[in-house]
Amino acid sequence: MDANSNNVAEMLERPEYYGEIRAKSATSADLYIYGDIVSRRPWYFSNESAEKSDAQWPSKVRDLLAEIKDVTQLNIYINSGGGVCFAGMAIYNMLSRHKAYKTVYVDGLAASMASIIALVGDKVVIPANAWMMIHQPWTICWGNAGDIEKEIAALRSIEEGMLAVYMAKANHGVTKDEIFKMMEAETWLTGEEAAKYFNVETTSASNAAAWLESEHYGQYKNAPKEFTEKAAKPAPPAQPPSPKLATAKDRLNLKLAIGGKRK
């Protein structure tokens, strides 16, 4: 196994990579959903990609929920920069179908599709120093006019689904148009600000509100500097040559030193 494989193997052993159920009992369980939302389990081929944020995907959450199908109290802890729309909605729907009373805690950030997942809670708690971000879905596409029109129609459909979730948790008096304009503007809300629009509880600043790396911070146009500054990391130092390359180089130098010729 090469060095890259060793690093990947070590990462896969981290409990937060697969998600984690803690404090499981006959009646309750704690479910942690940290990391970017992706469609399927990723496979990392290099050290650089392996060092990116952890990920959550629907089949993983499905398997975790199967382990705790009989609990009546489900505590869900979220810290995520968002991700794939269909994957996020699938996770939301699976959690919604679970019979338990669900309490969601936003530990640091619930952005984009993670904000949808967060609102699955019968009770949602966002500390004053945590964040929630809502925006319109977006995509990358190419093709002719008909292809582009189909993508626009698909985005509008996804947008309506997201709006339905937001409005189901909106405070009395908050209008659909108001939430839509917030989505258009890519709106970042602290816990206290989120409570003005959604049926969520805010608490004092929590030590649990922690930084989590995400691929998406650089793509968001209004991300607070708390996220963009931390995301701007220096390039990793150059890796030394592999033992096999060093050995080949040594052999070449030795051959030249004793009068050999390059071929």
pLDDT in tens, 188-217: 999 999 999 999 999 987 665 555 555 655
Is 49 marked active-site?
no
In a domain, 173, yes or no: yes
Query: Exactly one of 49, 53, 96, 112 is catalytic; which is it?
Result: 112
pLDDT tens, 61-84? 898 999 999 999 999 999 998 989
Question: How does pLDDT run across 91-140, given as a tens digit for each residue?
Answer: 999 999 999 999 999 999 999 999 999 999 999 999 999 999 999 998 88
Cα 26 to the center of its chain, rounded Å: 29
Residue 261 in this model has a pLDDT that exceeds 90: no
Using CA atoms, how far apart are residues 70 and 125, in angstroms rounded to an integer?
23
Domain hosting residue 20, numbered range? 3-257
Distance CA 72, CA 62 (A): 17
CATH number where 71 lies: 3.90.226.10
Is 263 inside a domain boundary? no
What confidence score (pLDDT) does residue 38 get?
85
In a domain, 69, yes or no: yes
What is the rounded average pLDDT for all residues in the chain? 78
Q: Minimal CA–CA distance to 81: which of 133, 30, 138?
A: 133
Residue 67 lies in a domain: yes
* Within-domain flag for 262: no
CB within 8 A of 172, min separation 6: which ones?
none
Q: What is the mean pLDDT of residues 236-240?
A: 48
Number of domains in the chain: 1
Single out the catalytic residue among 135, 206, 214, 216.
135
The 10s digit of each residue's pLDDT in 138-152 is 888 899 999 999 999
Which one, of 42, 30, 57, 171, lies nearest residue 117 by Cα? 57
- For the question of residue 135 being annotated catalytic, the response is yes
Confidence of residue 18 (pLDDT cuts 50, 70, 90): very low
